[in-house]
């Protein structure tokens, strides 16, 4: 009987070839990957994307402009920032700290504000509302103040904390409310400070989705305003030096180190390291009184 011999398949061929021949064998041709053509400048989709992107930026810029105007003209907002700066300054002088509390996106805004406060030498820490009722309430000491960040002013996790916080502890709130009496976190409680952070139009009506965007941008700006004004009140002209001392790392730290490095054409008065004595000259030691 005649047996027909078929040529081996590529897989079988690899099994019978020596390793040296496998290495020298040309690889299989791969199918070219289909690439999506780049969007051209004249493409209608490009125009739509760019219009949407710039509209978002413009909307958030408008919100910041509106809140800036608010703190320039509104008595409640102006009184709120003055009271907040005075409160945090007193807390800092008494050895206390500002405890910032929030959940969700507002909690992330709070963490950023804490980081800014710390870099400026202001005692501050973050407390998650959920963890607070599981032991973190012990972080609140008699000389501390608590800052809530919540756009609605009625976040349930924050409301649950209030009965467990002493009436003597100042409560601050960055919220959309324009009056303390309308904010559930502040209404009916003494020793409270309102920092209004409204937006000119809702995110859902602007972008079609109620994801925190414009509101968190405004909240971050209010936190920055608070941190820098308190630092100016606490440190005065030393604010920059305090920040440089607390931020030696990263590109900012490198820039600071470069700024204080003496240059070759510096005058003798600017010299940081005195020149060493000549090798053959005696080294004069300071008298005992100077050494002390």
pLDDT at 168: 95
Domains and CATH numbers, the chain: 47-245 (3.40.50.10490)
Confidence of residue 117 (pLDDT cuts 50, 70, 90): very high
Average pLDDT, the chain: 82
For residue 32, count other CB atoms closer than 10 A to its CB: 6
Confidence of residue 15 (pLDDT cuts 50, 70, 90): low
Q: What is the C-alpha separation between 268 and 183, in angstroms, rounded?
A: 61
pLDDT at 286: 46
Q: Which of 2-6, 50-54, 162-166 has the lowest mean pLDDT?
A: 2-6
Q: What is the C-alpha separation between 20 and 108, in angstroms, rounded?
A: 59
pLDDT at 7: 55
Between 5 and 142, whose confidence is greater? 142
Render pLDDT for 22-66 as a digit per residue (tens, 0 to 9): 555 555 566 656 566 666 667 778 889 999 999 999 999 999 999
63 three-state secondary structure: helix
Across 237-251, average pLDDT: 80
Across 83-95, average pLDDT: 97
Confidence of residue 266 (pLDDT cuts 50, 70, 90): very low
Q: What is the C-alpha separation between 229 and 89, in angstroms, rounded?
A: 10
226 exposure class (CB count in 10 Å sphere: 0-12, 13-18, 19+) = buried
pLDDT at 121: 94
pLDDT at 49: 92
> Taking 80 as the threshold, does the pLDDT of residue 224 lie above it?
yes
What percentage of residues in the chain have a pLDDT greater than 90?
A: 64
What percentage of residues in the chain have a pLDDT greater than 70?
A: 71
Q: What is the C-alpha separation between 194 and 180, in angstroms, rounded?
A: 6
CB 145 within 8 Å of CB 167: no
> Taking 60 as the threshold, does the pLDDT of residue 115 lie above it?
yes
pLDDT at 45: 85
Confidence of residue 248 (pLDDT cuts 50, 70, 90): confident
Residue 173, Cα to own-chain centre: how many angstroms?
Answer: 18
Instruction: Give the ranges where 94-149 is alpha helix by DSSP (H).
Output: 104-119, 129-132
> Taking 50 as the threshold, does the pLDDT of residue 20 lie above it?
yes
Across 132-141, average pLDDT: 94
Render pLDDT for 272-284 as a digit per residue (tens, 0 to 9): 454 455 444 444 4
For residue 97, count other CB atoms closer than 10 A to its CB: 22
Closest CA to 103 of 139, 148, 137: 148
Between 162 and 273, whose confidence is greater? 162
Confidence of residue 245 (pLDDT cuts 50, 70, 90): confident
pLDDT at 242: 87
């Amino acid at each position: 009987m005649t047996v027909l011999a078929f040529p081996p398949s590529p897989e079988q061929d690899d099994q019978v070839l020596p390793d040296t021949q496998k290495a020298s064998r040309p690889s299989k041709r791969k199918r070219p990957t289909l690439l999506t053509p780049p969007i051209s400048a004249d493409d209608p989709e490009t125009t739509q994307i760019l219009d949407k992107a710039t509209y978002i930026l413009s909307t958030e810029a408008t919100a910041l402009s509106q809140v800036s105007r608010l703190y320039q003209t509104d008595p409640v907002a102006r009184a709120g920032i003055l009271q907040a700066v005075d409160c945090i300054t007193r807390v800092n002088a008494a050895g206390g700290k500002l405890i910032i509390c929030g959940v969700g996106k507002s909690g992330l805004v709070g963490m950023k504000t804490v980081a800014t406060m710390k870099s400026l030498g202001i005692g501050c820490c973050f407390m998650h509302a959920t963890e607070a009722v599981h032991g973190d309430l012990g972080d609140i000491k008699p000389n501390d103040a608590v800052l809530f960040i919540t756009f609605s002013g009625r976040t349930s996790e924050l409301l649950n904390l209030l009965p467990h916080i002493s009436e003597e502890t100042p409560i601050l709130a960055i919220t959309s409310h324009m009056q303390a009496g309308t904010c559930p976190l502040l209404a009916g409680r003494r020793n409270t400070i309102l920092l209004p952070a409204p937006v000119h139009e809702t995110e859902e009506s602007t972008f079609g989705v109620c994801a925190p965007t414009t509101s968190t941008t405004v909240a971050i700006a209010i936190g920055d305003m608070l941190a820098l004004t308190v630092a100016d009140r606490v440190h005065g002209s030393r604010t920059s030096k305090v920040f440089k001392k607390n931020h030696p790392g990263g590109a900012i730290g490198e820039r600071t180190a470069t700024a204080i490095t003496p240059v070759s054409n510096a005058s003798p008065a600017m010299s940081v390291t005195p020149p060493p004595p000549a090798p053959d000259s005696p080294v004069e030691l300071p008298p005992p009184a100077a050494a002390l």
